[in-house]
């Protein structure tokens, strides 16, 4: 089977990409509006793209009418965000926070998600998240250049919060304890509870 992407409708392009490039980690992003209202939303077109400086990339689509999602709108007035990783215990709350709420209504409050203050940035962080990165926007790039339909958020990591409960005896991450969820195609998700090791060739 071959698929000529130039012949596909946008929704089909999304479906083929989202169901093949799997599992995708989920960035659970908190931001703050200019009025000080917190916002929380998940994004799975997400990856670490550099470790020096430590940088995360999040793709936020524009809405059908061309308007910005609340996350991008907030980042246009403040360059601070917290990017959380989502474990199985937080999956339902993460999903609930993807609801489209009117601008100015906080998913933290609407979905009953407990928050704690961040240290270096203004947006609060999810209290129960196993990993939270306090970040500053390095760049927001509309994409593609000719007729943008999304914003690529380059976020530089300033401070990481790691739940001690996900560490092993040597103080390193135990992936089984971390138990992150990954996005598959459709409504499916994976858990990172199964792993195997391979030694690199010399
Ligand atoms: C698991 C999951 C992954 C998602 N990934 C993306 C994504 O990569 N890009 C995107 O624009 N929306 C994504 N969404 C949808 C957004 O979370 C949703 O549009 C949300 O309402 C945006 O919130 P905001 O307007 O507060 O920024 C995803 C939703 C879920 C549940």
For residue 35, the CA-to-ligand 1 centroid distance in Å is 22
Please name which of 158, 3, 193 lies closest in space to residue 80, comparing C-alpha atoms. Answer: 158
13-20 average pLDDT score: 98
The answer to whether the predicted template modeling score (pTM) of the entire model surpasses 0.85 is yes
Distance CA 18, CA 184 (A): 7
Pocket test for ligand 1, best of 88, 98, 150 (most atoms within 8 A of CB): 98
Q: DSSP letters of the chain?
A: ----GGGS-HHHHHHHHHHHS-SEE-EEEEEE-TTS-EEEEEE-SEEEEEETTEEEEEEEEPPTTSPPPHHHHHHHH--EEEEEE-BGGGHHHHHHTTS---TT--HHHHTT--EE--SSSSS-EETT-SEEEEEEEEEEEEESSSS--EEEEEEEEEEEEE-GGGB-TTSSB-HHHH-BEEE-STT-EEETT-----PPP-
Percent over 70 (pLDDT), the chain: 100
Q: Is 108 in the pocket of ligand 1 (CB under 6 A)?
A: no
Please name which of 115, 118, 60 lies closest in space to residue 93, comparing C-alpha atoms. Answer: 115
pLDDT, one tens digit per residue, over 112-121 is 999 999 999 9
What phi and psi, each to the nearest 5 degrees, are found at residue 73?
A: -55, -45
- pLDDT at 129 exceeding the cut of 90: yes
Structural domains in the chain plus CATH codes: 25-187 (2.30.110.10)
Is 50 or 194 the better-scoring residue by pLDDT? 50
184-201 average pLDDT score: 94
Confidence at 180, pLDDT banded by 50, 70, 90 = very high
Q: How many CB atoms lie within 10 A of CB 46?
A: 23
Percent over 90 (pLDDT), the chain: 98
Atom of ligand 1 nearest to the CA of 72: 27
- pLDDT the model gives residue 193: 83
- pLDDT the model gives residue 191: 96
């Amino acid at each position: 089977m071959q698929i000529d992407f130039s012949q596909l409708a946008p929704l089909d392009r999304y479906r083929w990409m989202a169901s093949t490039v799997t599992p995708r980690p989920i960035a659970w992003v908190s931001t703050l509006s200019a009025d000080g209202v917190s916002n929380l939303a998940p994004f799975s077109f997400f990856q670490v793209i550099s470790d020096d400086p430590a940088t995360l990339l999040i793709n936020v689509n524009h809405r059908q009418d061309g308007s910005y999602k609340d996350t991008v709108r907030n980042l246009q007035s403040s360059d601070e965000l917290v990017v959380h990783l989502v474990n199985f215990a937080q999956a339902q709350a993460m999903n609930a926070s993807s609801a489209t709420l009117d601008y100015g209504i906080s998913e933290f409050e609407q979905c009953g998600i407990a928050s704690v203050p961040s240290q270096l940035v203004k947006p609060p962080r999810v209290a129960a998240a196993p990993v939270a990165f306090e970040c500053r926007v390095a760049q927001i790039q509309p994409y593609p250049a000719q007729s943008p339909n999304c914003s690529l958020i380059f976020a530089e990591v300033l401070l990481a919060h790691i739940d001690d409960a996900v560490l092993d005896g040597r103080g390193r991450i135990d992936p089984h304890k971390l138990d992150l969820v990954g996005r598959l195609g459709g409504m499916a998700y994976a858990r990172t509870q199964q792993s195997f090791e391979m030694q690199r060739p010399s």
